[in-house]
């Protein structure tokens, strides 16, 4: 084996999730599955890579995600594959491929897992990040738009997040969009020289994307650009109005953002993004400042590295044409994706308390070779009896082991010495008072259960 000159590090834009942080992930995953399942969503797991064509056809060839950010590779068999940059396309493919069109509609699905995008890493923006997605496929009723938004907000609230705001917009259907496209071109063409390089290209390829740009100079132009909301067809207008009315009833805080478009081509009608209203921003002096969200600093990011854009916890919208576009039947749909890395960053920022994953009640101390031999079996007996145990078997001194028991904050310690192991007894030590009693080993489970009940 060749010797490595310097230690190999984690790839840029990725990170390890260490044991100390797992409590947040456990809490988030369990809140997601509780809420999703109680709103009738069934879990789906799709592969982490798909044929690249899937994303080209659905997300769109002229989008940043497909054009610049996909991890694509040729397999040994010669297939062009891509690590999934988002989850909806794979779910729509699975809906068609597994005959879900024949199930009672709509079909409600949720998923969670890593996504991959080759982005410039910064606070809250990674190359491997984690999303939860909720999709409702096969019904065009606007109540479902409100239901996915509601489920998103409920998940965030279950996680203790406060001050959420949903930014709402509609990007209409193909009919109203083609009219709007000409309006946009009429506005932007004379101003093309002032656009960033990407937007100059977007002007030719996909003018709606101009509204998605976060560059300062393009943001300024955007402020006076025409709004699609003023050019909606009758159906899109009443759909959007109904979604907002449903939201009003749920008392979800929302605001209208007529320039909100989303980064993927498959969206139609309703689009939305969810933000935290007041973010704690770390200033140049390193001290937190609270101000209206203008930019984000999740996980302690440096303000200077941010453009003036805020980071969304997630977003979503309707995608009425996607299933048909991918070769399925007509199945209008709506969905949302939450960025878990940002949700967890926000929980930490807002000081949400999360219980530890494992809290032992009892510590098993061993002294001497015979006792040490018996310990693994005893530990497993206690575990099987539902008692939360801890140990530090590699340490032989009683002092060190009791110190570890103290650190773990257990209620009781069990001390099994050489003599106890021979006599078939064990010492139970109350950690608060220091009182000790010797009890028969065969009765230990019953005795512990009684003591812990108190």
Shorter beta-carbon distance to ligand AMP: residue 346 or 416? 346
Q: Give the C-alpha separation, 44 to 40, whole Å.
A: 13
Q: What's the per-residue H, E or C state across 109-152?
A: EEEEEEEECCCCCECCECCEEEEEEEEEECCCCHHHHHHHHHHH
Q: Is 235 exposed, middle or buried (0-12, 13-18, 19+ CB in 10 A)?
A: middle
Shorter beta-carbon distance to ligand AMP: residue 132 or 421? 132
**Shortest approach of ligand AMP to residue 198 CB, angstroms?**
16
Shorter beta-carbon distance to ligand AMP: residue 315 or 328? 315
**Shortest approach of ligand AMP to residue 153 CB, angstroms?**
14
**Shortest approach of ligand AMP to residue 352 CB, angstroms?**
17
**Shortest approach of ligand AMP to residue 13 CB, angstroms?**
8
The rounded radius of gyration (Å) of the Cα atoms in the chain is 28
Q: What is the DSSP string of 174-195?
A: HHHHHHHHHHHHHHHGGGGGGS
**Shortest approach of ligand AMP to residue 343 CB, angstroms?**
7
Q: How far is CA 147 from the centre of its chain?
A: 18
Residues 75-110 as b or e (16 or more Cβ within 10 Å = b): eeeeeebbbbbbbbbbbbbbbbeeebbeeebbbbbb
**Shortest approach of ligand AMP to residue 276 CB, angstroms?**
11
**Shortest approach of ligand AMP to residue 262 CB, angstroms?**
6
Phi, psi of 97 (to 5 degrees): -65, -30
Structure tokens at 329: 């039947």
Shorter beta-carbon distance to ligand AMP: residue 226 or 263? 263
Q: Which residues contact 224 (CB under 8 A, 6 or more apart)?
A: 187
Q: Which residue is nearest to ligand AMP (CB)?
A: 339
Q: Give the C-alpha separation, 145 to 360, whole Å.
A: 44
Shorter beta-carbon distance to ligand AMP: residue 15 or 51? 15
Shorter beta-carbon distance to ligand AMP: residue 14 or 105? 14
**Shortest approach of ligand AMP to residue 131 CB, angstroms?**
5
**Shortest approach of ligand AMP to residue 245 CB, angstroms?**
25
Q: Give the C-alpha separation, 358 to 150, whole Å.
A: 31
Supply angle C-alpha 89, 94, 96, rounded to 5.
100
Shorter beta-carbon distance to ligand AMP: residue 27 or 84? 84
Shorter beta-carbon distance to ligand AMP: residue 137 or 156? 156
Q: Give the C-alpha separation, 420 to 203, whole Å.
A: 82
**Interacting residues toward ligand AMP by CB under 6 A:** 86, 117, 119, 124-126, 129, 131, 262-263, 312-315, 337, 339, 341-342
Q: Which residues contact 337 (CB under 8 A, 6 or more apart)?
A: 86, 87, 88, 131, 132, 133, 314, 315, 316
Q: Give the C-alpha separation, 125 to 118, whole Å.
A: 10
- The helix/strand/coil state of 255 is strand
Shorter beta-carbon distance to ligand AMP: residue 93 or 231? 93
Contact 84, 90 (CB under 8 A): yes
**Shortest approach of ligand AMP to residue 341 CB, angstroms?**
5
Shorter beta-carbon distance to ligand AMP: residue 154 or 441? 154
Shorter beta-carbon distance to ligand AMP: residue 346 or 426? 346
**Shortest approach of ligand AMP to residue 138 CB, angstroms?**
22
**Shortest approach of ligand AMP to residue 47 CB, angstroms?**
18
What is the enclosing helix (H) or strand (E) of 89?
A: helix 88-97
Q: Give the C-alpha separation, 80 to 51, whole Å.
A: 6
Shorter beta-carbon distance to ligand AMP: residue 332 or 337? 337
């Amino acid at each position: 084996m060749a010797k490595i000159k310097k230690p190999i590090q984690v790839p840029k834009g990725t990170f390890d999730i260490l044991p100390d942080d797992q409590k947040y992930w456990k809490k988030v995953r369990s809140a997601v599955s509780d809420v999703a399942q109680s709103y009738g969503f069934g879990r789906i797991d799709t592969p982490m890579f798909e044929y690249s064509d899937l994303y080209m056809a659905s997300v769109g060839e002229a989008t940043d995600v497909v054009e610049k950010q996909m991890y694509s590779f040729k397999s040994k068999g010669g297939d062009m594959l891509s690590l999934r940059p988002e989850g909806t396309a794979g779910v729509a493919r699975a809906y068609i491929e597994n005959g879900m069109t024949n199930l009672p509609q709509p079909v409600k699905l949720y998923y969670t897992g890593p996504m991959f995008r080759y982005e410039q890493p910064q606070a809250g923006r990674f190359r491997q990040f984690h999303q939860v997605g909720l999709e409702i496929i096969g019904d065009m009723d606007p109540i479902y738009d409100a239901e996915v938004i509601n489920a998103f907000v409920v998940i965030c609230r279950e996680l203790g997040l406060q001050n959420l705001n949903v930014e709402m917009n509609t990007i209409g259907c193909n009919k109203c969009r083609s009219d709007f496209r000409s309006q946009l071109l009429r506005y932007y063409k004379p101003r093309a020289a002032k656009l960033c390089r990407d937007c100059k290209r977007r002007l030719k390829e996909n003018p709606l994307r101009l509204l998605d740009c976060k560059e300062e100079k393009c943001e300024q132009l955007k402020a006076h650009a025409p709004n699609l909301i003023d050019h909606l067809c009758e159906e899109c207008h009443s759909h959007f109005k109904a979604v907002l009315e449903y939201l009003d009833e749920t008392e979800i805080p929302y605001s209208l953002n007529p320039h909100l478009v989303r980064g993927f081509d498959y969206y139609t009608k309703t689009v939305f993004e969810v933000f935290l209203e007041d973010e704690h921003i770390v200033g140049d002096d390193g001290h937190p400042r609270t101000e209206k969200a203008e930019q984000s600093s999740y996980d302690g990011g440096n303000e200077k590295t941010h453009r003036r854009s805020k980071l969304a916890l997630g977003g979503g919208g309707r995608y009425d044409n996607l299933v048909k576009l991918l070769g399925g039947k007509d199945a209008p749909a709506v969905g949302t994706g939450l960025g878990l890395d940002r949700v967890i960053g926000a929980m930490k920022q807002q000081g949400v308390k999360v219980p530890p994953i494992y809290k032992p009640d009892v510590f098993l101390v061993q002294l001497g070779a015979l006792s040490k031999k018996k310990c693994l079996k005893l530990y497993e007996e206690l575990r099987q009896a539902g008692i939360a145990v801890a140990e530090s078997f590699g340490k032989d001194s009683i002092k060190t082991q009791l110190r570890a028991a103290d650190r773990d904050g257990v209620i009781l310690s069990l001390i099994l010495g050489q003599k106890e192991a021979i006599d078939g007894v064990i010492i139970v030590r109350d950690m608060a008072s220091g009182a000790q009693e010797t009890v028969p080993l065969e009765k230990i489970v019953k005795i512990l259960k009684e003591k812990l009940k108190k």
